[in-house]
Amino acid sequence: MAATAAAAGGIVVVFDFDKTIIDVDSDNWVIDELGFTDLFNQLLHTMPWNSLMDRMMKEIHSHGKTIEDIAEVLRRIPIHPRVISAIKAAHALGCELRIVSDANMFFIETILNHLGLKDYFSEINTNPGFVDEQERLRISPYHDFTQSSHCCSLCPPNMCKGLIIERIQASISKDGSKKIIYLGDGAGDYCPSLKLTAADYVMPRKNFPVWDLISENPLLVKAEIHEWINGAELERVLLQIIERISTDEISSNSAQLLSADCKLQTISIAAHEGLPQPLSVTQ
């Protein structure tokens, strides 16, 4: 177990949040549960989604709903229990866990804190969500598209997950060779899937937008593709990939140690018998 955990330390598991960690879209869940679906649908095509959610929070508060009302709804959000056990198991094995989500920080942290999962994640990349001085929830874009564009045609204006993955790749490259396992469901998870390398793994949720996009031309994705359907399958597939990576890493390290040991034995025998040492050693 200790050896497996050490090997799994070279794995970064990146989760989408909505319909990946939780079973629903958190934005829609809050709007529907608080009774503002009709207004949301009326405004849906008038502004970007991220801007719409900020507008909806203003509307919700103007009708007397409080921060605690929103938090209470979030604490009832559906999540498959096997997703919770998968997160805990991956963390226990030594994997680093991160979130890349187009939800918002208030929603995600409220849910994770309620589930006791917040400390399992080293980083949460999402749209800022904060409580202002009037005790109202405000939601702002991860990328301020009113000032500049992130220039990605595949992603919504407020967030390019591909750029976030590139930043994660740059940060973990300093720690040596690490592999990424990326899990997602939506169209926004397609761009980061294209950024992964042949050493990485992508887990698209079957029959969801990202799976459809990958299936249209799987050769565009360099990473190894492993689909999943529900929370139970997410856990099974994720842990199988972690075990496979860890086993390969342990085997590779053992082979390197064996090779180094053989070289030392060759040097020792050569020195003892007065034979010329290997060229690579004498240079």
Binding residue numbers for Mg(2+): 16, 18, 185
Which among 18, 25, 54, 189 is annotated as catalytic?
18
Query: Residues at the annotated binding site?
Result: 16, 18, 27, 102, 185
Contact criterion met (CB below 8 Å) for 103 and 26: yes
| Cα gap 172→186, rounded to integer Å | 25
| DSSP, residue by residue, 177-237 | S-EEEEEE-SGGGHHHHHH--TT-EEEEBTTSHHHHHHHH-GGG--SEE--B-SHHHHHHH
Q: Which amino acid is at 38?
A: D
Contacts of 67 (CB under 8 A, 6+ apart): 131, 135, 136, 137
Active site residue 54: no
Element (H, E) at 111: helix 105-115
| Cα gap 5→217, rounded to integer Å | 35
Q: Which residues are catalytic?
A: 16, 18
